[in-house]
Amino acid sequence: MEGETFLWLIRHAPVRGTAGTIHAADAAADLGDHASLVALRHRLPPDGASYASPSRRTVETARALGLEPELMSEFREQDFGDWTSHRHDELAATGGDAYAQFWRDPASGRPPNGESFADQVARVRQGLSRIGDGSATLVVHSGTIRAALCIALDLTPQAALRFVIDPLSLTRIDRLAAGWRVVTVNQRAA
């Protein structure tokens, strides 16, 4: 199928650490859900390329799935700048107007020294353009998958933020000659 790309997008395993934290790139994955990892591994294309965000949790998840991915910085999670490594409840209490303002428009708002979700969509678009024809597995973040869905469905960034993307879920999209096709979103393997 020349000119067509079939993408299996996997959200990384849950992060080891305090819930409600904006995790840094070096946060480790909790790979304890062996049943989901095995079930997910059986759903992936056997002969496809593999890519991952360079974050520790995505690389660890990819390796647990038996992949040795090419790392692509375009697939990083949204950069929350100065808020990285802080808990949301802490920021709500001490983040002042900047934190409250961000949540009034989370698609175009930028955390201090960070990027907006719209910026992430533009970055993911560049990354997707680098993936060639055939099958590919991407082990990435929830924001990266929302950005890919934003592109595939020609949504506004604000609308794309409505998708729920669970850890170790599968989202399938295809880039065809006639345009994008969405096969499944947020499907759990186990």
pLDDT tens for each residue of 173-187? 999 999 999 999 999
Range of the domain at 172: 16-188
pLDDT tens for each residue of 88-132? 999 999 878 899 999 999 999 999 999 999 999 999 999 999 999
Residue 1 pLDDT more than 50? no
Identify whether 11 is part of a domain. no
Query: Would you say 141 and 58 are in contact if contact means Cβ atoms under 8 Å apart?
Result: yes
CATH classification of the domain holding 82: 3.40.50.1240
Identify whether 9 is part of a domain. no
CB count in 10 Å sphere of residue 115: 16
SS3 96: helix
pTM of the shown model: 0.96
Percent of the chain with pLDDT over 70: 98
Torsion of Cα atoms, 55 then 180 then 134 then 43, to 10°: 70
| Domains in the chain, number | 1
Residue 151 pLDDT more than 50? yes
What pLDDT does 3 receive? 86
CB count in 10 Å sphere of residue 30: 16
Cβ burial of 154 (10 Å; 0-12, 13-18, 19+) is exposed
